[in-house]
Amino acid sequence: MARRLLIAACVAAACAWAPGGGARAATCPAPRGVDARVGARLATIDGRDRLSWIDHRLGDEAAKGRLWARAWTIGIGAGGLGSLAAVPFVAAEDRVDWYTGAASAAIGVIPFMLSPMAVTRDAPKLHAAITAAPLDDDARVCALLVDAEGKLAAGAADARWQQGWWIHAGNIAFNTGVLLFLGLGYHHWTSGIINGVAGAAVGEAIILTQPTGIIGDLGTYNRGELSMTGLWTF
């Protein structure tokens, strides 16, 4: 009988300390600005579960963002190289059209390199911080959760900004400038229209295909509607 009691106690202790098992939940406050009732609901969810959810969502959105940026960088870069490759085969007076196309492509890839999506920078940092040490300290869990919530909000704000009317206006203005450069500067109105319209269309496609799921993720989190299905609990 004593032996059975000892075995049961050992099993219970092992389950209590197993990752995602029956370990004591980390109680962390809800982020500022959420509805009081939603905040109370969030506060009842284990801080480790909330941290795991944000880590998973940021990682997923970052992967989509990197794929989006690489695909467009390669596509635009290839278009620019194609324009340069055609230069030796066109008449001298028409080469400015192709040089302009190549220059526009070069300018088009700069934002992907200098200003990547915020989530593509923040997600790896958060994951590295989470996995740097076991999450057996509630204070550390809550501190990491505050940082994760901040990165989630920052990523959503960045995605909204990248979809703003000013981005569309900048795209139209730049490509209108390309059209006028060739039209007014060289009287190549046909090639100017082709370059301007094609460039504007590509620019709009870039804007409209940018991953924006993180905006919905922030809303889901702030409503406390977290699904832990398929997620590893730290």
What is the pTM for the complete model shown? Answer: 0.83
Q: How far is CA 181 from CA 15, 100, 160, in A?
A: 71, 9, 32
DSSP 115: S
Contacts of 7 (CB under 8 A, 6+ apart): none
Kind and range of the H or E run holding 21: none
Alpha-carbon distance 130 to 141, whole Å? 9
Q: Which amino acid is at 108?
A: G
Task: Calculate Rg over the CA atoms of the chain.
Answer: 26
Quote the CA–CA distance of 16 and 18 in Å, as a whole number. Answer: 6
Q: How many CA atoms lie within 13 Å of 103's alpha carbon, on the beta-carbon side?
A: 13
C-alpha to C-alpha distance for 217 and 224, rounded to whole angstroms:
11
pLDDT score of 231: 55
Where is 212: in which H helix or E strand? Answer: none
List the chain pLDDT tens, one digit each, 234 residues.
444 444 444 433 333 334 444 456 788 988 887 777 878 888 889 999 999 999 999 999 999 999 999 999 999 999 999 999 999 999 999 999 999 999 999 999 999 999 999 999 999 999 999 999 888 899 999 999 999 999 999 999 999 999 999 999 999 999 999 999 999 999 999 999 999 999 999 999 999 999 999 999 999 999 888 886 545 555
133 in the Ramachandran plot: left (φ > 0), alpha (ψ -120 to 50) or beta? beta
**Alpha carbon of 30 to those of 21, 43, 50, 71, 98: distances in Å?**
23, 5, 10, 37, 56
Please, are residues 38 and 223 in contact by the beta-carbon 8 Å criterion?
yes
Query: How confident is the model at residue 227, as a pLDDT?
Result: 80
CA distance 40 to 139: 19
Judge whether 234 and 51 are in contact, CB under 8 Å.
Answer: yes
Backbone angles phi, psi at 18, to 5 degrees: -70, 145
Residue 132: what residue type?
A
The CA-to-CA distance between both ends of the chain, in Å, stands at 35
Note the pLDDT of residue 57: 97
HSE of 71, CA atoms in CB hemisphere, 13 A = 12
